Amino acid sequence: MLDKYSIKVIKWPLNTLAVWPDKLGITANQVTISGFLIGLLALPALAWQQYEWALACILLNRIFDGLDGAIARRQGITDCGGFLDITLDFLFYSLVPFGFVLANPEANAVAGAFLIFSFIGTGSSFLSFAIMASKRNIESPVYKQKSLYYLGGLTEGTETIACFVLCCLLPQHFALIAWVFGSLCWFTTGTRILAGYQTLKQE
């Protein structure tokens, strides 16, 4: 819901920052992988309840995720880069709830599993529509700079990161946050299925 606004806010800083790695010959894919490796460090940090370090890893991962796209637009967007980016993004998204489960299995296991379950809904509806849109040459009217059709919803990337930040700041309330956000994710999944079906049916 908020991605179309947040993209406008971060576009200029990321494009400015992308000049330097581009000049140094650093590729977008290298930044994607580096960001994912940084994001992986959030898992042990969460498991050991080092929430400040986990938050730092999460935020750095997201900065690298935006930066790789800015670099790709300078060097040329590729299908392999888009594939790598979206695959590692979804792995990272599931990693964070799992870290909270490891931190406190008794309190967080069911809520964490529900949140990961809800990510399966948002992720599968997002990617399956992107595949069909690509086959039919349907372009996104909002996210034209993306390498694949970006089907929006109530819970997008901005809201997901806000959820992770809130969980790190209030880890004792992870279960409640996970139940609420997971429910919102299922609303997103439902609206995406409906909108995607109607769009493809018309096409």
Structure tokens at 38: 């940084």
Single-letter amino acid code for the residue at 174? F
Compute the Cα dihedral for 66, 71, 72, 73 and give only its sign. Answer: positive
CB 101 within 8 A of CB 171: no
Closest CA to 96 of 151, 143, 157: 157
CB 164 within 8 A of CB 96: yes
CB 46 within 8 A of CB 105: no
Structure tokens at 57: 């890893």
Q: Which residues are catalytic?
A: 89
Instruction: Find how far residue 20's CA is from the centre of its chain.
Output: 24
How far apart are the C-alpha atoms of 159 and 136, rounded to whole Å? 29
